[in-house]
A and B are shown apart, each in its own frame.
Chain A
Amino acid sequence: MGIKVLKTVGEAAEDTADFQTKINDSIRATRHAERLDSLFNPAITILTGISFVGTIIYGGYLVQTGALSIGSLITFVTYLSALVWPFLGLGFFFNNLQRGNAAYERITTLLAEQPATLDKKGLKQVPRGDLQIDLTTFQYPDATEAALQNVHATVQAGNTLGLVGPVGSGKSTLIQLLLREFDQYVGSIKINQIDIRDYDKDTYLPAIGYVPQDNFLFSTSVLENIRFADPNISLARVQEAARWAALHDDIMNLPDGYDTQVGEQGISLSGGQRQRLAIARALIINPDILILDDALSAVDAKTEQQILTMLHNQRRGKTTIIATHRLSAVVQAAETLVFEHGRVEARGTHSDLIQQGGWYARMFAAQQLSEKLDQEVTTHG
């Protein structure tokens, strides 16, 4: 919220003054329009007045000559009055027609929008097995440069793949491809030897649990948010998922426990709680592939460790992909890819990468915390 910043620098008064100027501008513009608007009724009145004057003179003359009876004149005048409204109505009609046209055009544009992934009916088979990434190049529609180039990796079912690298290096792009947000790339991504683009999306996507960094929560209860994937899941299973995400104790401390309303966009939960809720929401479907996209950034070190250990224990035989800035999250990964400018600059296990030096090792030095946590997790996990 910007208001916090303005309050902090003590410039609320100046901001208010700025708003006042904008309001004055708005009033000036509106008054001009109002002046034009106010001319509409008088114009109609004058036109009607003129036609009445014509009737008085010509009608009076006709009555005088006996060509028209007074009764007919009255009828005529009544018709004349009846004409005023249709004319006004016609004006409104054209006005509405224009607005309707503009609205209709916007709606057709929206309806004509093509889905980003072509939903051809594919294999109704659960994607389970080794993940094989052989990406030659991918570029975003409308982009001129490739966002990913020559990314190759194989993840055996049950292993963890780490994705690290500076902001904008391509980690999230690779995840978008795995999530089939884009299908137009050169190369292939295969699960169990089958190109992921050949799977039916309705079978493919439910098998993937995805937890983004900025997790959206619906303004309903904690319970309904965790079992978003299926409202019929039992409370016991919801609680289990919450325990896995190290969230159960937090929930029990909330005023209404699992029935606590999270508020609009999860406003009544802390950042860390929202992240863990999103993890629980993904874990409850026990996905064959779990993708954590910097999903532990707001969770403190102790809790992060707890969740990682749980993932290690609970997800045997299932693949996990972790993209992160904090290296502590990928230290136990079977392989970690270090991205830079859309390419894989280095790869290997944690100790391989440390030995290689370079970005990972520098980062490691800076994040002593992460490095040492790794040792702890490997000794305990």
Chain B
Amino acid sequence: MAKQNTSAWSGKMTAATQFQTVRALFRFMKPYAKYFYGALILAAAISVVNVLLPRLLQTFMNQHLHRMSPTWRLLIVFALLYFTITLVKAVAQFFSDYWFMSAAEFMVEDVRMKLYRKLHTLGMRYFDQTPAGSLVSRVTNDTSSFTDFWELFLTLTTGVFAIVSAFIAMWLTDVHVMLVTLLFVPLLLGSIWLYQVVATKVYRHMREKLSQLNAQLAEAITGMSVIQQFRQESRLAGEFAQTNNAYYQARVRMVKTNSLLLSPMVDLLYGGAIIAVMLTFSWTSQSATIAAGTVYAFLSYVAAFYNPFDSAMDSLSSFQDGVVAGSRVLAILADDTLEPAQQAPANGRITAGKVEFRDVSFSYDGEHDVLKHISFVAEPGQTVALVGHTGSGKSSTINAMMRFYEFQSGDILIDDQSIRQLDMADFRRQVGLVLQEPFLFYGDIAFNIRLYNSQIADEQIEAAAKFVHADEFIRSLPQGYHEPVVERGAAFSTGQRQLLSFARTIVRDPKILVLDEATANVDTETETIIQQSLAKMRQARTTIAIAHRLSTIKDADLILVLDQGEIVERGSHESLLAQHGRYADLYRMQMGETSD
């Protein structure tokens, strides 16, 4: 399954987008530039010291040892000097590593926080369309890959400084031999370029296969009961084997590429360079004596020159990971499926709770109106019920009313002010929504009622629970209000979860109550309790309710019958029955008084 897997690895990324992504990631690093560049400067210093140490040994051997008469004092001085430089290097290494890791960590957490904030500003449409799992992966996995992403810059800095200082040292030591070594630079750069081109392609292919594999695995595990039920284990195992094999092949290609182009290529050139250096020295030594220390120093320089290439090429794949993760993270941050915006100054407050829809039309896609010219008024304390088949526009009315989605024309007025001019924080406090599927958070019962509102006292929580008849079952739990809630409240029945979500709503004492098919999916006993609670909650509150079962909304002040986004009938239960229209039909059908 999961054949049309859309992975960021499958699409080609142009050099320009890659560059933009890297630039954007550097912008994220900016607040921690002090650490980041501090670490890079130290790393550069370390690579200079790395060249300096052999030069010290060279001087020691050439100037003092060959005279066959160095004094003990001199030996000790050189040893101390060497040790001091080593100590300085160690300290520099510590701060370089520590600052670098800190900077990366700060940056990662910062991006995480930015993502989290951004997610809170995105509109409901975004969450209705994006699976939660992929968002979790963006916030955790993708951001973690940035840690390794920065590694390339550290190795690059180390590399560049090592190479430059190695060449300066060589130049100071022996210009001829330096020039010979220089001949290898184009070859080395060429092989890096070749590796980069080949490996990037192979690596992307491999990652694409891996994400296919993951997607397939995740789906098969979630759908295992269905697979077993239809005895499709072997077919799915076959499909998995195919994907797994494709990943294996891609992986083998990666290994082959690395085996051929990574270490062997660099080592070959390294070996070649050493041979060339030795040859040059032996050729020169025929005319003049070459000091042993010089040979040692040169060999160290050549090594210092080649080492960075290995690690730089190694960190190329992390760099790729980072760029791809970065592009995905940036896509979320740039997403403009925002919450509907309020109009400045947006300081209107809800006082009485009057709700009015005035000629509201609303479309999700900008083409097909799901609500057409909806108008109605709910006076403070009244109940307006929405009735209609699936897709008639009931839920869309709620989506517009809750400001989850922006409506296109007309206006929604709360206490005679446009909903767009209300203070959003006040609006959210004053409008309580009860969802069809209650959602419980990880924590305990009390937290699930209080959430993050620390002004709600324990007594209020208990009072709210009593009010909605949840107190009894909560008290029967071993730890009462501190009973832990795990896995979205799987240990509780749907009805109990529903009662908890009622308590959560009622403890905030909203002026307006919005019920979204809150009575579906529970057994009848619980439903009786829920109906009692709902009736109590509705008292003295303006209520907009969706209900499939007409018996639950008979006492509503106004019943709207929706069909294909339009109000086709309106009135009280009695007046609608008297109309002998659609509501009457629906009601008769539900009550069983067959019309024929």
Partner-binding segment picked from A31-39, A87-95, A237-245: A31-39
Does B453 reach chain A (CB closer than 8 Å)? yes
User: Which chain A positions have C-beta within 8 A of B590?
Assistant: 301, 368-369, 372-373
Interface residues of B in 123-144 (CB under 8 A from A): 124, 127, 129, 131-133
User: Which chain B positions have C-beta within 8 A of A35?
Assistant: 98
Does A112 reach chain B (CB closer than 8 Å)? no
User: Which chain B positions have C-beta within 8 A of A368?
Assistant: 551, 590-592
Interface residues of B in 367-419 (CB under 8 A from A): 389-391, 402, 404
Are B75 and A61 neighbours in the complex by a CB distance under 8 Å? yes
Are B522 and A325 neighbours in the complex by a CB distance under 8 Å? yes
Are B79 and A37 neighbours in the complex by a CB distance under 8 Å? no
Does A16 reach chain B (CB closer than 8 Å)? yes
List 18 additional contacts besides A9-B428, A205-B228, A216-B222; criterion CB under 8 Å.
Answer: A1-B127, A1-B132, A3-B119, A4-B127, A5-B504, A7-B428, A8-B428, A14-B451, A15-B120, A16-B113, A34-B98, A40-B97, A52-B53, A60-B70, A167-B526, A229-B230, A229-B232, A300-B390
Are B504 and A9 neighbours in the complex by a CB distance under 8 Å? yes
Are B425 and A167 neighbours in the complex by a CB distance under 8 Å? no
**What 0/1 readout, one digit per residue, does chain A (8-44) give for beta carbons within 8 Å of chain B?**
1111101111111001001100110011011111110
User: Which chain A positions have C-beta within 8 A of B82?
Assistant: 49, 52-53, 56
Which of B1, B83, B300, B428 has a CB less than 8 Å from the CB of A53? Answer: B83
User: Which chain B positions have C-beta within 8 A of A4?
Assistant: 124, 127, 404, 433, 435, 439
Are A56 and B78 neighbours in the complex by a CB distance under 8 Å? yes
Are A23 and B113 neighbours in the complex by a CB distance under 8 Å? yes
User: Which chain A positions have C-beta within 8 A of B132?
Assistant: 1
Are A78 and B131 neighbours in the complex by a CB distance under 8 Å? no
Task: Report the Cα distance A38→B94, complex, angstroms.
Answer: 5
**What 0/1 readout, one digit per residue, does chain A (164-196) give for beta carbons within 8 Å of chain B?**
001110000000000100000000000000000
Are A49 and B86 neighbours in the complex by a CB distance under 8 Å? yes
Are B299 and A37 neighbours in the complex by a CB distance under 8 Å? no
Are A56 and B79 neighbours in the complex by a CB distance under 8 Å? yes
Task: Report the Cα distance A375→B592, complex, angstroms.
Answer: 7
Closest chain A CB from B261 CB (angstroms): 21
Interface residues in B, total, Cβ within 8 A? 111
- For A53, A81, A205, A363, the residue with the greatest tally of chain B CB atoms inside 10 Å of its CB is A53
Closest chain A CB from B247 CB (angstroms): 18
Does A367 reach chain B (CB closer than 8 Å)? yes
Are B428 and A10 neighbours in the complex by a CB distance under 8 Å? yes
Task: Report the Cα distance A77→B432, complex, angstroms.
Answer: 77
Are A8 and B232 neighbours in the complex by a CB distance under 8 Å? no
- For A31, A41, A218, the residue with the greatest tally of chain B CB atoms inside 10 Å of its CB is A218
Are B520 and A297 neighbours in the complex by a CB distance under 8 Å? yes
Closest to A208 in B: B229
Task: Report the Cα distance A52→B527, complex, angstroms.
Answer: 82
Are B68 and A272 neighbours in the complex by a CB distance under 8 Å? no
User: Which chain B positions have C-beta within 8 A of A210?
Assistant: 229
Does A235 reach chain B (CB closer than 8 Å)? no
Closest to A20 in B: B113
Closest chain B CB from A24 CB (angstroms): 8
Closest chain A CB from B511 CB (angstroms): 13
Are B69 and A49 neighbours in the complex by a CB distance under 8 Å? no
Task: Report the Cα distance A41→B293, complex, angstroms.
Answer: 27
User: Which chain A positions have C-beta within 8 A of B127?
Assistant: 1, 3-4
Are A45 and B90 neighbours in the complex by a CB distance under 8 Å? yes
Does A46 reach chain B (CB closer than 8 Å)? yes
Interface residues of B in 500-545 (CB under 8 A from A): 501, 504-505, 508, 520-528
User: Which chain B positions have C-beta within 8 A of A57?
Assistant: 75-76, 79
Task: Report the Cα distance A7→B526, complex, angstroms.
Answer: 27
Which of A1, A216, A371 has a CB less than 8 Å from the CB of B226? Answer: A216
Closest to B74 in A: A60
Partner-binding segment picked from A68-76, A128-136, A153-161, A306-314: A68-76
Q: Taking A48-B86, A216-B226 as contacts, is the C-beta distance between A38 and B98 under 8 angstroms?
A: yes
Are A56 and B524 neighbours in the complex by a CB distance under 8 Å? no
Does B295 reach chain A (CB closer than 8 Å)? yes
Are A261 and B97 neighbours in the complex by a CB distance under 8 Å? no
User: Which chain A positions have C-beta within 8 A of B53?
Assistant: 52
A-B residue pairs, 10 tightest by C-beta: A372-B592, A10-B428, A49-B86, A14-B452, A42-B90, A38-B97, A38-B98, A70-B292, A34-B101, A216-B223
Are B105 and A10 neighbours in the complex by a CB distance under 8 Å? no
Task: Report the Cα distance A264→B355, complex, angstroms.
Answer: 37
Are B432 and A8 neighbours in the complex by a CB distance under 8 Å? yes
A-B contact pairs, 25 of them (CB 8 A): A3-B127, A6-B120, A7-B339, A14-B453, A23-B109, A27-B106, A30-B105, A34-B105, A42-B94, A49-B90, A50-B86, A52-B82, A56-B78, A60-B75, A60-B78, A70-B293, A77-B296, A217-B223, A218-B219, A220-B4, A229-B231, A325-B522, A368-B551, A369-B549, A376-B592
Are B232 and A37 neighbours in the complex by a CB distance under 8 Å? no
Closest to A1 in B: B127
**What 0/1 readout, one digit per residue, does chain B (61-77) give for beta carbons within 8 Å of chain A?**
10011101110000110
Q: Taking A9-B453, A297-B521 as contacts, is the C-beta distance between A302 and B129 under 8 angstroms?
A: no
Task: Report the Cα distance A272→B436, complex, angstroms.
Answer: 13
Closest chain B CB from A87 CB (angstroms): 15
Closest chain B CB from A12 CB (angstroms): 4
Does B548 reach chain A (CB closer than 8 Å)? yes
Task: Report the Cα distance A362→B524, complex, angstroms.
Answer: 9
User: Which chain B positions have C-beta within 8 A of A53?
Assistant: 79, 82-83, 86
Are B65 and A264 neighbours in the complex by a CB distance under 8 Å? no
Task: Report the Cα distance A20→B453, complex, angstroms.
Answer: 16
Q: Taking A61-B75, A167-B494, A212-B225 as contacts, is the C-beta distance between A366 and B524 under 8 angstroms?
A: yes
Closest chain B CB from A234 CB (angstroms): 18
User: Which chain B positions have C-beta within 8 A of A374?
Assistant: 592
Closest chain A CB from B538 CB (angstroms): 17
Are B439 and A41 neighbours in the complex by a CB distance under 8 Å? no
User: Which chain A positions have C-beta within 8 A of B508?
Assistant: 9
Closest to B228 in A: A205
Closest chain B CB from A90 CB (angstroms): 19
